[in-house]
A and B are shown apart, each in its own frame.
Chain A
Amino acid sequence: MGRAKEIIIKVLPAEVANNFVRKNHYSGKVVPNSKLHFGCFLDNKLHGVLSYGTSMQKSKIIGLVKPCLWNEMLELNRMAFDDYLPKYSESRCISITIKLLKKHAPHIKWILTYADGCQCGDGTIYRASGFKLVGIKKNTTLLKMPNGKIIADKTLNNKSYIKKGQSASYWKKRGANPIMGNQLKYIYLIDKKCTITVPILPFSEIDKIGAGMYKGEKITLKERQN
């Protein structure tokens, strides 16, 4: 574990967290749904942010774990770190934030998160942190625009783009294509009495489907172990 043990986690103002995420997350974007931001400090300086919030399509998501009321789950929307933090820091930070959730929001029963297997990774950190893999889906929602920018179709389907007549379908007809890769869905049960209602996939499924990715490079889990 080394120096990762020295990391301190504090609740951050959204402005500070979002500024850090914009600078350090590979997408350069924040998730507007994020409402609880944790800052990861080492040597008295901010080196990481974990942002939790609600899910975009919560009514579809909520049934993944039972029993669960509307406000009893969170999505880990964003996780961004700079290069200063030592090995194992990410899983250490996730572990501390889960402990804080247990302490200050004991009604939260589970956490959902997604790994972006198109541009970033297949969720190594989530697996190391005890998350269960519950879905691998070929990407259809992250679009590469004609100008090379990557943008989610749900962003294009919000009011401001629709008003301009530039919805996702408009751009798809004009050369915006889904980027190659997969989206992996992970669940962490805080309340172990709850049940995941969908099949839990073995991690070997990642290689079977060809969804392996680490730091933006396509690579199988097996190759990484060697």
Chain B
Amino acid sequence: MKIEKRKISELIRAEYNPRKISVVQLYELKEGIEEFGLVQPLVVNENPERKNVIVGGHQRLKLWEELGNKEVDCSIVNLPLDKERKLNIKLNKNGGTFDDDLLKEFFDYEELIEWGFTVSELFVDPDNLTDSFSLPEGDKDPFQQISFVLANNQADKVKKAIGKIKETEEIKLVEKFGNENSNGNSLYLIITQWEEQRK
């Protein structure tokens, strides 16, 4: 890692920097800098086309400068613009919030997803959305799922009974009403037999 001292007056803020900071976060950051100094260097690009552009540490630099400092320690990187933008996001992703307008102006939705944003964290662009949809039509599905709670012992008994009836010849003749679920058909047969016995 290349650490160098740079004059604050020579550093350039990244035009796209989307990081926002709340008053509380700023206050906490300031307290830390006043107590410990700037223990973490800024990240600054030395790429000829992006010379002296700050990649990470905009808020810290502002506070450092307010304390009367003229120079700052910088971790120097040499990155083309696309990589520089990616590093900016990666450095900021674990704290603070982002300015939606800047994110939208300078970054693609897809690349932000690739760099670790979730869909719900991102700006939602109405231009990328549709107003069309489809919903199921007609009557209720002729099948239904029933769930109920059984004690472990009861569940074992039910499972065993279903397993046993599946081994019989009668299961092949059970009225299925189009149902392909073998457990459902087995349970239906058990109940039917129980009803017959009670007659």
8 Å CB contact of B131 from A9, A35, A74, A107? A9
Question: Is the beta-carbon distance between B126 and A107 smaller than 8 angstroms?
Answer: no
Are B126 and A39 touching (Cβ within 8 A)? yes
Given A12-B124, A15-B118, A16-B119: A45 in contact with B135 (beta carbons within 8 A): no
Main secondary structure of the interface of B (DSSP, over half): loop
- In the assembled complex, B140 has its CB within 8 A of some CB on chain A: yes
Quick one: CB contact mask for A33-44 with B, threshold 8 Å, 1 for yes?
001100101001
* Most A-side CB within 10 Å, residue of B123, B129, B136, B139: B129
Chain A positions within 8 Å of B120 at CB level: 15-16, 18-19
Q: Which of A16, A45, A105 contacts B133 (CB 8 A)?
A: A105
Minimum CB–CB distance from B99 to chain A (whole Å) comes to 12
A46 within 8 A of B: yes
A16-59, CB < 8 A from B: 16, 18-19, 35-36, 39, 41, 44-46
A70: which B residues are within 8 A, CB to CB? 138-141
Residues B132 and A11 in contact, CB atoms below 8 Å apart: yes
Which residues of A are at the interface with B, using a C-beta cutoff of 8 A? Answer: 8-13, 15-16, 18-19, 35-36, 39, 41, 44-46, 69-72, 74, 100, 104-105, 107-108, 159, 162-163
Give the chain B neighbours of A46 by CB distance below 8 A: 124, 126
Contacts A15-B118, A15-B119, A159-B149 known; A104 to B132 CB distance under 8 Å?
yes
CB pair A8–B139 under 8 Å, yes or no, is: no
Kindly report which residue of chain A lies nearest to residue B100, judged by CB atoms: A45
Q: List 7 A-B contacts (CB under 8 A).
A: A11-B131, A13-B119, A15-B119, A71-B138, A74-B135, A100-B133, A162-B149
- Min CB distance B35 to A, Å, is 34
Known contacts A15-B119, A100-B131, A69 near B126 by CB under 8 Å: no
* Residue count of chain B within 8 Å CB distance of chain A: 23
Asked if B134 contacts A11 (CB within 8 A), the reply is no
Name which of A9, A46, A162 has the most chain B CB atoms within 10 A of its CB: A46
Q: Does B15 contact A (CB under 8 A)?
A: no
Whether B135 contacts A44 by the Cβ 8 Å rule is no
B119 touches A108 (CB 8 A): no
Docked-complex contact A36 and B135, CB < 8 angstroms: yes
B133 near A104 with CB under 8 A, answer yes
Closest to B118 in A: A15
Task: Give residues of chain B (78-124) contacting chain A, Cβ–Cβ below 8 Å.
Answer: 100, 118-120, 123-124
Pick from A8, A44, A104: contact of B134, CB under 8 Å: A104
B141: chain A residues within 8 A (beta carbon): 70
Query: B125 interface residue, CB < 8 Å from A?
Result: yes
Indicate which residue in A8, A16, A163 contacts B149 across the interface (CB closer than 8 Å): A163
Which A residues touch B133, using CB under 8 A? 11, 36, 100, 104-105
Please measure, in the bound complex, the distance between the C-alpha atom of A16 and the C-alpha atom of B119, giving whole angstroms: 7
Q: Decide if B180 is an interface residue (CB 8 Å cutoff).
A: no
The 3 A-B residue pairs whose C-beta atoms are closest, nearest first, are A70-B140, A19-B120, A10-B129
Inter-chain contacts of B125 with A (CB < 8 A) = 44
Cα distance A73–B126 when bound, in Å?
Answer: 27
Measured between C-beta atoms, what is the minimum distance from B122 to chain A in Å? 8
Closest to A100 in B: B131
Are the CB atoms of A71 and B136 closer together than 8 Å? yes
Interface hub of A70, A74, A163 (most chain B Cβ within 10 A): A70
CB pair B131–A71 under 8 Å, yes or no, is no
Q: Does B179 contact A (CB under 8 A)?
A: no
CB distance from B84 to the nearest CB of A (A): 27
The verdict on A41 contacting B126 (CB below 8 Å), with A11-B133, A104-B133 known, is yes
Q: Given A44-B125, A44-B126, A45-B100, do A107 and B149 touch, yes or no (CB 8 Å)?
A: no
- B131: chain A residues at CB < 8 Å are 9-11, 100, 104
Contacts of B124 in A (CB 8 A): 12, 16, 39, 41, 46
Residue on A nearest B104 in the bound complex, by CB: A44
Q: Are A105 and B135 closer than 8 Å at their CB atoms? A: yes
